[in-house]
Amino acid sequence: MSVNTFGRVLRYTTWGESHGPGLGAVIDGCPPGLPLNERYIQPFMDARKPGQNRFTTQRKEADLVKILSGVFYNADGEQVTTGTPIHLMIENTDQRSKDYSEIAQSYRPGHADYTYDAKYGIRDYRGGGRSSARETAARVAAGAVARLIIPEVRITAYVCELGGDTIDHEAINLDEIGNNPFFCPDSWAAKRWEDLVEKARKDGSSLGAVVECVAEGVPAGWGAPVYGKLDSDLASAMMSINATKGVEIGDGFGAARLTGEQNADAMSPGKNGKPVYASNHAGGTAGGISTGQPVVCRVAFKPTSSILTPVDSINTAGEATKVRTKGRHDPCVGIRGTPVVEAMMALVLADHKMLHRAQVGGE
């Protein structure tokens, strides 16, 4: 079962609730000898952490990661992984001691309030408890460790659509991603989104987004038939992120509108007998195994369910009520989902590199 664990050979388990003392990830199976310290992880956390600008939630969390096990000093005095479980822990520091009585008694539409109660008969309602996107902080920390296993791969995620407004793929400039609060690689789109998000925030509304993630440097041969397909594991990984409703590999739903000729990624001889591809409709996989092209996936995030506009709902007694979610929320949860998508890509690829090594050998 292990429903709070992800991975096949490199496996990590997360624990923690939004307003409990903290949260964490225990990573099992990490190779030994990789340089790992808290300083290395922190920038990944900072990219996701809340409260950094007016376009995200105002909850302030330092998201400092403590490494509580699984590292030791090598002969050179560097902290490296030892091959034993790595526990990464993050304390919660800005849980507002506000009155939760309203949310305790009524179900917020679009949230997991009702379903948790229906399943478990009890829920930690404070800030969404286990169903809060705060859990993704642990994923980002785990993803930072996963990246150490796949130094040959370069992963980049960015928002490619926000509130229905798409970027110009011709205008993509990856250097722009860090220059705006939207992880947007198109500076013109970023400008437009400022207004979009600002308006949604002021209106107490929210917006959806699509995040695109590209992994370059993945060699041909990672992935496995037929239930361990790279596509399958990526889909599972992305759909486990809060607020996601869709996943595409390569052209995705667009491929369903192409003919066989249009969709064919023609090959020609390249260096070392490796193919050169004329296109990448497939998004870097065939038969669930990497082709040597960039692995490309896209993830749809619904608009944040927490909005100020009152919505009809029921309370825990089954009576009609109206719910208006106050508190600090992201007007577009897809934005801060971007580093999480990157982390999940890293975790899936690292896992499959190791799985491949188990079966076929190699360094």
Q: Is 305 annotated as a binding residue?
A: yes
Query: Is 132 annotated as belonging to a binding site?
Result: yes
Residue 53 or 287: the one with the smaller Cβ distance to its own copies is 287
Q: In angstroms, give the least distance from the CB of 242 to its own copies.
A: 8
249 CB-contact burial (10 Å; exposed 0-12 / middle 13-18 / buried 19+): buried
Residue 250 neighbours by CB under 8 Å, 6+ apart: 280, 281, 282, 283, 284, 285, 296, 297
CB-nearer residue toward its own copies: 43 or 272: 272
Q: Count CB atoms within 10 A of the CB of residue 51.
A: 15
357 labeled part of a ligand binding site: no
Q: Is 139 annotated as a binding residue?
A: no
Which lies closer to its own copies via its Cβ, residue 171 or residue 266? 266
Min dist CB 291 to its own copies, Å, is: 6
Contact 108, 74 (CB under 8 A): no
- Count how many residues are written for the chain: 363
Tokens of 119: 């399943």
131 is in an annotated binding site: yes
Minimum gap (Å) between residue 357 Cβ and its own copies: 5
Find out whether 54 is annotated in a ligand binding site.
yes
Which residue's CB is nearer to its own copies, number 163 or number 185? 163
**In terms of CB distance, is 168 or 225 closer to its own copies?**
225
Nearest distance from C-beta of residue 195 to its own copies, angstroms: 15
- What are 218's two structure tokens? 């993945």
Q: How far apart are CA 307 and CA 200, in angstroms?
A: 10
Task: Tell me the two tokens of residue 223.
Answer: 């992935």
Q: Which residue has the tokens 């790279």?
A: 230
| Minimum distance, C-beta of residue 163 to its own copies, in the bound complex (Å) | 7
CA distance 256 to 237: 23
Residues 273, 282 contacting (CB under 8 angstroms): no
Residue 45 to residues 63, 142, 160, Cα–Cα distance (Å): 6, 10, 22
* Residue 285 among known ligand-binding residues: no
Annotated binding site: 48, 54, 130-132, 242-243, 287, 302-306, 328
The annotation places the binding site for NADP(+) at 48, 54
Q: Which residues are annotated as a binding site for FMN?
A: 130-132, 242-243, 287, 302-306, 328
